[in-house]
Amino acid sequence: MAQSLSLPLDRPSLYLIDGSSYLYRAYFALPFLSNSKGIPTHAAYGFTRMVMKIVKEHQPQYMAVAFDVGRETFRTETYQEYKAQRPSMPDELAVQIPYVKEILQALRIPVLEMENYEADDVIATLAKRAETAGFQVVIVTGDKDMLQLVTENIQVFDPMKEAFYGPQEVEKRMGVAPHQIPDLLGLAGDSIDNIPGVKGIGQKSAQELIKSMGSLEEVFQNLEKVPSKFHKKLEGAKEVAFMSKALVRVRSDLPLEVTWDQLRRREPDYDRLRELFRELEFTTLIRELPQGEKDRGHYRMVTSLEEWKELARRLASEREISFDFETDSLFPVEARLVGLALTSREREGWYLPLDHQEGPRLTEGEVLEAFAPLLMDKEKEKVGQNIKYELVLLFSRGHGVEGPLFDTMVASYLLNPSKRTHGLDDLALEYLGYRTTTYKEVTKKGKKEIPFSHVKPETARDYACEDADITLRLKHVLEKQLKEEGLEELFRQLEMPLVPVLARMELAGVKVDKARLETMAQVLETQIERLEKEIHQLAGEAFNINSPKQLAHILFDKLRLKPLRKTKTGYSTDVEVLAQLALEHPLPERVLEYRQLTKLKSTYVEGLMKVINHKTGRVHTSF
C-alpha cells in the first residue's frame, strides 16, 4: 500500500473524482439495497458515502466529479474492440445515476462530462490545467491508467486502500515512471479495457523493455539493442503496440468550458440532501448531516396530583393521546415505573415524575387512577412507539385499555418490512428529518451509565416528552402513507387488534417447572461427566474438550486421523468433520454426544431457568 502523502499548505487543493469508476465499484462491492418503493440504492449509497467522507476528512477547496457519457468515444473509433468485452450497464445501476447526480447537485459539487470522451480525459485536462495554475491536484480513482498523470503536483488517491500515490509510489507499483505507463501498457496490453498490446509480452517483460529503452519509440527504433528473446514477438507488432499506447494515453487537451470559481467548494444544500436521503432511506447519512435548530416542542413538568387531574380533564376532550412510560427495565413484566410522558398535540408534552432519585414525585397509583378514564375511552386513539410495552405495563397493574391503537413501529414495518430497524430515533430522522435525543445520551454508557431513575427530572422531562411528541408527529405522517399505500385496512383491522392480544400473552407467560429443570440439569451434568471421562480414556490423556485446538491435537496428531478441512486457525473440528471421523474412531462420536448434552444443559435447561420471573414463576417472552 502506498504511503499517505502530505499536501502543500501554500497551494489550493483540487480534488477530481472519477465518478463512473466509483459508481461501478460501489455497485459490485456492496450488497443489494433498495428503498421501500423497490428502487435500488446500494451504488448511490456507497458512492455518496465515499464523497462525503472525502469532503469531511480532506476538506478540498475545489472539487469536481467526472462521468463517462456513453460507450462510444474517440477510442472506439480507433479500435472497435476497446472495452467491447464489458457488459452493458446493469439496469439496477442505471436507475441510480440520476439520484447520484441530484445528490452531487445538492452537495454543490460540479458534475463534468463531454461527448466522445471518457471521464479520464476530462480529469486529465483539468488536472494539467490546474497544475499549470498552481494547484495541488488529487485525482480520486482506483484506475491504474490514471497513474500516468502523477507528478510532484498531481497525486492519485485510492479511497478503497486509503492510499496516496506520488511518483515514487507509482514506480514501486507499476515498475516504471508515471509518464511511461502508456508505453508499458502499449507492450503488455490491458485485459480490463481489452487493449491488445504485443502478443507474448507480459507485464514483467514490458517493464524490462521500457526501463532499459525508455519508451516504446526507442524500443522499435533500436530493435538491435533489444534482447534477442523479444525480437520475434516485436517483429510486425509496431502498429498494434502504438495503437495500444494511444488507447491508454489520456487526453489532456479537451475544450472544457469551466472556471476555477465554478469548482470552488460551497456549502451543501442540506435541506435538499435530507429530502433525497429520506426518499432513498439513507438514515445513517441523514444522521451525519449537521442539524439546525431543533423543532422542539414546549415540554412541562406536572408536579402535583391536582395539576395532573386538571390536565387529565383537558385531555379528555382530545381525539388522540400519545404516551410513553419511562422505566428501569426492557422487560415490562418486571419494570418499575419511573415517569410518564404524554401529549395530545404536536410540539407539546407533559412529564409526570414517579420515581426519580431527586426532585418531585407523584404516586404511581394515583397517577394511573386519573389516567384510567383516558385509557378506557373507546373513542380516543392511543398512540405509541412499540405500544405493546406500555400495554403490558398497564395490564400488569390491573388497568385496561379500550379504543383504537396506533403503533408507529408497526406502521413503519408495514410500510417497509425490509427496513433494518424501526426504532424511534431512525424513524424521526427518516420521516421528520429530526434528530432525537437518544437514551444513551441521557443515561450515558459503559462505566458511567446510570439507571433512568437517577436522571434529573428536567432532563427526563425533555427526553420523554420529546419521545411522546415525535411519536405523535410520526403517527400523522405514517397514517397518511398507510392510506396512500392501501395498507390502512390491514393496519386497523388486523395489526392493531393483535397488539393487546400479544400483550396479554406476554403478561400471562409460560409456566415452567423449575424443580423439574433443576433435576434435568443434574442428570445432564452426570452424563456429561461420564462422557468426559470416557473421552479422556479414549484419548489417553486429559484435555479441554471445548478447545478446538486441543481437540484437533488429539484427533490429528495423537490419534493420526486424517484432517478433512483446514481453517484460518487450524484443522476444523466442526460437526461435519466429527461425523465423518466417527466412522473411523469412537472418540469423535463421543465428542458429538458431549457437545449435544452441554448445549442442551447450558442453552436450554439452564437458559430457561435464568429467564424465569422470580415473582410469577413464569417465562415472559416478547412477541
> What pLDDT does residue 227 have?
81
In DSSP terms, which residues pair with 163 in a beta bridge? 158
Partners of 18 in beta bridges = 66
Q: What are 433-457's pLDDT values in tens digits?
A: 888 999 999 998 888 899 999 999 9
State the average pLDDT over residues 573-592.
Answer: 95
pLDDT tens, position by position, 17-28: 999 999 999 999
Query: What residue type is assigned to position 564 of the chain?
Result: L
Work out the pLDDT band at 6, boundaries 50, 70, 90: low
Q: How far apart are CA 27 and CA 30, in angstroms?
A: 6
d(CA 209, CA 55): 41
Query: Which has more pLDDT, 162 or 47?
Result: 47
Looking at residue 353, its pLDDT comes to 97
pLDDT, tens only, 259-274:
999 999 999 999 899 8
Q: Cell 432511506 maps to which residue?
A: 281
pLDDT score of 290 more than 70: yes
**SS in 3 state form for 65-94?**
EECCCCCCCHHHHHCCCCCCCCCCCCHHHH
Give percent of the chain above pLDDT 90. 74
Q: Is 383 helix (H, G, I), strand (E, B) or coil?
A: strand
2: pLDDT strictly greater than 60:
no
Query: Could you give the CA distance from residue 228 to residue 549 in angstroms, rounded to a whole number?
Result: 56
* Band of residue 3 on the pLDDT scale cut at 50, 70, 90: very low
Task: Report yes or no: 151 and 167 within 8 Å, Cβ to Cβ.
Answer: yes
pLDDT in tens, 118-128: 999 999 999 99
Please determine, for residue 294, whether its predicted confidence score (pLDDT) is greater than 80.
Answer: no
Q: What is the mean pLDDT of residues 316-334?
A: 95
Contact yes or no for 341/464 (Cβ under 8 A): yes
The pLDDT of residue 4 is 47
- DSSP alpha helix (H) spans, 249-359: 260-263, 270-280, 283-288, 305-315
Distances 176 to 50, 131, 155, 198 between C-alpha atoms, Å: 30, 22, 16, 18
Lowest mean pLDDT among 124-133, 241-250, 306-315, 572-581: 241-250
Mean pLDDT across 526-536? 97
List all residues 6 or more positions away from 28 whose beta carbon is below 8 Å from its beta carbon: none
In order of their start, the domains of the chain are: 13-263 (3.40.50.1010), 298-494 (3.30.420.10), 514-619 (1.20.1060.10)
Average pLDDT, the chain: 92
305 band by pLDDT with thresholds 50, 70 and 90: very high
Tell me how crowded residue 551 is: count the other CB atoms within 10 A of its CB: 21
Angle at 499 between CA 498 and CA 500, to 5 degrees: 100
How many residues are present in the chain? 623
Cβ burial of 76 (10 Å; 0-12, 13-18, 19+) is middle
Percent of the chain whose predicted confidence (pLDDT) is above 70:
98
How far is residue 145's CA from residue 120's CA, in Å, rounded to a whole number? 9
* Predicted confidence (pLDDT) per residue in 91-109, tens digit: 999 999 999 999 999 999 9
Residue 555's contacts (CB-CB under 8 Å, 6 or more residues apart) are 561, 571, 573, 581, 587, 588
The Cα 517–Cα 121 span in angstroms is 74
Residue 393 to residue 618: CA distance in whole angstroms: 16
pLDDT of residue 432: 87
Which of 309-318, 334-343, 568-577 has the least mean pLDDT?
568-577
pLDDT at residue 292 in the model:
62
What tens digit of pLDDT does each residue of 331-375 get?
Answer: 999 999 999 999 999 999 999 999 999 999 999 999 999 999 999
Instruction: Give the residue-averaged pLDDT of 190-216.
Output: 87
Overall average pLDDT of the 139-166 stretch = 92
CA 397 to chain centre: 40
Distance CA 92, CA 33 (A): 10
